[in-house]
Amino acid sequence: MAIWKEQTSPRKEATPVPQDTSPRREEERPAAPSYSSSVSSHDLPARVKERESKESLIASDLTIEGKIEGSGHVRLAGRFKGDVSVDGDLTIDPGAKVTGGVRARAVIIGGELEGNIEGAQRVELLETGVLNGDLKAGSLTVAAGSRMRGQVAFGWEAEQQPESRIKMVTDSAP
């Protein structure tokens, strides 16, 4: 004698799924994506090579104090206090703030930088960008709406920079 009653549900029969049995020609089949590994890095354009490089990210909800040194690209979306020295590119996203000196191949400022930029080949000041500091670079691109306070020197060769001439004058002074 059982205390409970077993409940059984009626079994549902599996309905067969109709299959397409018509023969397909080879050209009608959807082509699978092909990924060729035979492309070497020297065959790629320079901009593609740059994108393939590693990029470190400081997220927008982070605040970090210290020093960044390295050879890759760095993207700052949060707040960073300290010097940044990279052989790659530095991107400061809109809403980000960096307080400290910067040395990088290219610097793109969409946020705020309080510090000097030295030795950059290229600097881009986007329309949301703010630079409070001096800038020495190979080229400078300034978008309408951006703001800057400081001294700027760009397009000069190393031996033509004003500081080197001043140094020679001060070294020869008694």
Apex 35 CA angle, 30 and 37, nearest 5: 155
51: domain range?
47-172
User: Cα–Cα distance between 38 and 46 in angstroms, integer?
Assistant: 18
**Residue 93: inside a domain, yes or no?**
yes
Q: Look at the pTM and tell me if it is higher than 0.95.
A: no
The total domain count for the chain is 1
Whether 132 is covered by a domain: the verdict is: yes
- Please identify every stretch of the chain with a pLDDT value under 70, giving residue numbers as ranges: 1-53, 157-174
- Quick check: is 29 in a domain? no
Q: How far apart are CA 46 and CA 49, in angstroms?
A: 5
Q: What is the pLDDT of residue 54?
A: 82
Residue 5 domain-assigned (yes or no): no
